[in-house]
Amino acid sequence: MKKVVLLSLVCVLFCACAAVPQAPALAGTDFTAELAFTLDGIEYAADYTRDAGSETLAFSAPESLCGMTAVRGTDGAVTVTIGDLTYVAEAADGMFAFTRLFSMPRDALRYVSETDGVRCFSGSDGADNCTLYTDTDGLLLRLCGTVGGREYDIQVLDFDERSDPQ
């Protein structure tokens, strides 16, 4: 009987000490992501790349933005190119506001639940809040949240983390 009680106690302690899943560490990570989202009733599709502190958005939808590329350099300046036209704004963060969701500090996101192989993490950093969904391997699937008072719901169709920083 002692062995059964001892074994049961060990099992309970082992389960209590099981590791809680952690959100992926995206802040400061270089990656490329294929995104789809709706904002103010307009559906967008874009490839988003973060590389060495600069960010690039290459739009494929809506049709009016198809082919437009916006690059925010490390100095904050944004260069927008569509066809032969180029415009540079010294500090135009609006187009890149949603990217704050990709920079939520890992320690600000807490594990909430897992359903059907999808893990949910949620948290906030200042006035911005984020709910992040991953598969059980930690692959990013979806980001929802509020940044600067605007609500975003971003589907991550493809995500490739850079493994060879330059």
The residue extents of the domains of the chain are 22-157
Distance CA 86, CA 70 (A): 10
pLDDT of 48-107, one tens digit each? 999 998 999 999 999 999 999 999 998 889 999 999 999 998 776 677 888 889 888 889
Helix (H) or strand (E) holding 155: strand 150-161
CB 89 within 8 A of CB 77: yes
pLDDT at 14 over 80: no
CB 153 within 8 A of CB 39: no
pLDDT at 3 over 70: no
Q: Please give the CATH topology (third level) of the domain spanning 22-157.
A: outer membrane lipoprotein receptor (LolB), chain A (2.50.20)
Mean predicted confidence (pLDDT) in 20-25: 87
